[in-house]
């Protein structure tokens, strides 16, 4: 019975233009039944009430409401994050940037020091939580400007020891100037004129504050560059995500100032340009 329910739901989602209809259909049914996708085949029966709940969720997903809003959670590396309206849903591509930050923090630990890590534009707290979980000795700080988003971050980071602050990254953490080993950020980077090309899940449900960044999409990246230069120790590192079309323009933000060495761009698992890293030269 579950297989037929998922099949019919997947057809509806595919017709609605959902990018991963089979996955989403199975994930929603598993959510309703309180199980996992891999164990759906072990479910003997679905009650009429469960089927009705499932149909309502599939209808909402077909209207392009994000899957994670419907289930209330998003997987990110080794953690689960609570997400919903008002906060940017973390994407799988960002896991690579988080992994880079984890590696950089771990390298500081290997050198015999406590790493200080700052996550700018933390959103749900995804990167900060990943670093705090995977490098438990790290001193992790995070900042978020959006009012609803910072509430989600507070929920996700509660009890972790992460220092979460509510404010603009542009003037955040003056008390940490010159003391930070790793700055990491998934900033807004969509150009304003690309509004119509953004998937409905993001355009209609993610906060605009987390998506759009001026005419060229790099306004926030320039802020990241300035803030990182202020926060980092000499030879400290910064990593920031960008759009796949910004594989040259995002690194150029760092190169242009003359403050950075080892400016590199990194591809995601699909081979698309995804994030830039740089080392403070002074």
Record the pTM: 0.89
pLDDT band at 1 (very low <50, low <70, confident <90, very high): low
- pLDDT number for residue 118: 98
Segments of the chain assigned to CATH 3.40.50.150: 84-280
Q: What is the largest CA-CA distance in the chain?
A: 66
Name every residue whose Cβ is closer than 8 Å to that of residue 27 and which is 6 or more positions away in sequence. 37, 67, 71
Q: What angle do CA 140, 145, 147 make, to 5 degrees?
A: 110
**Annotation: binding site for S-adenosyl-L-methionine:** 144, 186
Q: Give the range with max mean pLDDT: 57-66, 194-203, 224-233.
A: 224-233
CB atoms within 10 A of CB 262: 12
- pLDDT number for residue 88: 86
Hey, is 142 helix, strand or coil? strand
- Given a contact cutoff of 8 angstroms between Cβ atoms, the answer to whether 60 and 16 are in contact is no
CATH for the stretch 2-63: 1.10.8.10
Percent of the chain scored above 90 by pLDDT?
74
Between 169 and 205, residue with greater pLDDT:
169
CATH for the stretch 84-280: 3.40.50.150
* Residue 197 clears pLDDT 70, i.e. is over it: no
- pLDDT number for residue 209: 66
The residue with tokens 């015999």 is 112
Between 45 and 150, residue with greater pLDDT:
150
* Residue 194 clears pLDDT 70, i.e. is over it: no
Between β-strands 232-241 and 273-280, what pairing exists: parallel, antiparallel or unpaired? antiparallel
**Annotation: binding site:** 144, 186-189
Digit-coded pLDDT (tens) for 121-166? 999 999 999 999 999 999 999 999 999 999 999 999 999 999 999 9
**Annotation: binding site for substrate:** 186-189
Digit-coded pLDDT (tens) for 250-264? 999 999 999 999 999
- pLDDT number for residue 173: 98
- pLDDT number for residue 112: 96
What torsion do the CA atoms of 223, 227, 232, 237 make, to the nearest 10 degrees? -10
Residue 236 main-chain phi, psi, to 5 deg: -70, 165
Long-range contacts of 11-16 (CB under 8 A, 24+ apart): 12/58, 12/62, 13/58, 13/61, 13/62, 15/62, 16/61, 16/62, 16/63, 16/64
- pLDDT number for residue 190: 74
Tell me what the pLDDT averaged over the chain comes to: 91
Nearest CA to 149 out of 183, 182, 125 is that of: 125
Digit-coded pLDDT (tens) for 55-105? 999 999 999 989 999 999 999 999 999 999 989 899 899 999 999 999 999
C-alpha separations of 231 from 108, 151, 184, 185 in Å:
16, 25, 11, 13
């Amino acid at each position: 019975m579950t297989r037929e329910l998922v099949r019919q739901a997947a057809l509806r989602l595919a017709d609605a233009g959902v990018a991963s209809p089979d996955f989403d259909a199975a994930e929603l049914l598993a959510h309703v039944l309180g199980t996992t996708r891999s164990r759906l085949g072990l479910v003997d029966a679905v009650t009429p009430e469960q089927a009705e709940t499932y149909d309502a969720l599939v209808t909402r997903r077909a209207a392009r409401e994000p899957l994670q809003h419907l289930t209330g959670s998003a997987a990110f590396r080794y953690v689960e994050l609570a997400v919903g309206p008002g906060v940017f849903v973390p994407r799988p591509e960002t896991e690579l940037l988080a992994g880079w930050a984890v590696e950089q923090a771990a390298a500081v630990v290997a050198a015999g020091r406590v790493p200080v890590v700052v996550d700018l534009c933390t959103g749900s707290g995804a990167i900060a939580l990943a670093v705090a979980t995977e490098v438990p000795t790290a001193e992790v700080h995070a900042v978020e400007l959006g009012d609803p988003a910072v509430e989600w971050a507070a929920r996700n980071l509660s009890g972790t020891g992460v220092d979460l602050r509510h404010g603009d990254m542009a003037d955040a953490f003056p008390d940490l100037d010159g003391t930070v080993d790793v700055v990491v950020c998934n900033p807004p980077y969509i150009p304003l004129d690309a509004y119509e090309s953004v998937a409905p899940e993001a355009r209609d449900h993610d906060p605009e504050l987390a998506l759009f960044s001026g005419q060229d999409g790099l306004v926030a990246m320039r802020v990241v560059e300035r803030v990182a230069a202020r926060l980092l120790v000499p030879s400290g590192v910064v990593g920031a995500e960008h759009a796949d079309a910004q594989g040259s323009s995002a690194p150029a933000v760092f190169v242009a100032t003359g403050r950075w060495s080892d400016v590199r761009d990194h591809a995601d698992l699909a081979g698309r340009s995804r994030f830039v890293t740089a080392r403070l030269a002074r």
